[in-house]
Amino acid sequence: MELAGRSVVLTGVGREGQVGEAVARAFAERGARVFLVDRQESEARARGDALLAAGLRAASLAADLTDAAAVDALAARLREATGGRIHALVHLAGGFAMSGPVAESDSDVWSRMFAINVTTAFLTTRALLPLIRATRGTIVLFGSEAALPGARVAEMSAYAAAKSALLTLMQAIAQEERVNGVRANALAPAAIRTAANVASMGSDAEYVTREAVAEVALWLCSDGARAVTGQVVRVR
């Protein structure tokens, strides 16, 4: 899964101890030049500086991915930095919140879950597709086990519905872009052992490791998965 010479965009890299940190390091260690995007410039820069200090190739950018104009500006910067060629987009941007029983839920939580989980993916993919088509590249979206059939979704309807919409978006991209040689897939991980999850759920809960998630994302972006598109990969 060597990725030397390839440009990979990773959104929502987040804070230290989160899944984006592990995914970014995994791609950079395979030789990719990673472009780390986060809403908070300080977080993107911190993750990028850590990779640069290790002798890896990284660039850091900040953008509000819920804002179409900001995403278009980001795409212009990436077009200039990559010569208009992106080999992979790994969209980690998103977030979780309990919304409570539907009868008592807050509509603001519903709107926020869709904004950060679905709108970000839609706007980012739409803006970067011309650059991904140039390499016949790949897109990996981050869904959730909560969006799979039979999942327990009580009191988290907003999050589960948003992640379900994300998987439908992935299917649309995969079907539409097949003719352009672009692949799209999604991960559906169980709870990931991140610093935030351990702080809220404790260290004894059942988790999938950040490294396991990173390995699946790497494989989906590799030449070995060239025939794989429109798939949801469960990670436990």
Question: So which residues are the catalytic ones?
Answer: 159
In this structure, is residue 151 part of a structural domain?
yes
Q: What CA–CA distance (Å, rounded) separates 127 from 21?
A: 24
In this structure, is residue 95 part of a structural domain?
yes
Q: What is the pLDDT of residue 14?
A: 87
- Low-confidence residues of the chain, pLDDT below 70? 1
Q: What is the pLDDT of residue 40?
A: 94
Q: What is the pLDDT of residue 178?
A: 98
Helix ranges, the chain (H) = 19-29, 41-53, 68-82, 107-114, 120-133, 157-177, 195-201, 210-220
Domain with 81 in it: 7-235
In this structure, is residue 137 part of a structural domain?
yes
| 35, 7 contact by CB (below 8 A) | yes
Residue 187 belongs to domain with CATH number: 3.40.50.720
In this structure, is residue 2 part of a structural domain?
no
Give me the sign of the Cα torsion angle 19, 140, 216, 152: positive
Q: What is the pLDDT of residue 1?
A: 65
Q: What CA–CA distance (Å, rounded) separates 112 from 95?
A: 9
Please tell me the total count of domains within the chain: 1
In this structure, is residue 1 part of a structural domain?
no
In this structure, is residue 21 part of a structural domain?
yes
In this structure, is residue 203 part of a structural domain?
yes
Q: What is the pLDDT of residue 45?
A: 97
In this structure, is residue 165 part of a structural domain?
yes
pTM, rounded to two decimals: 0.96
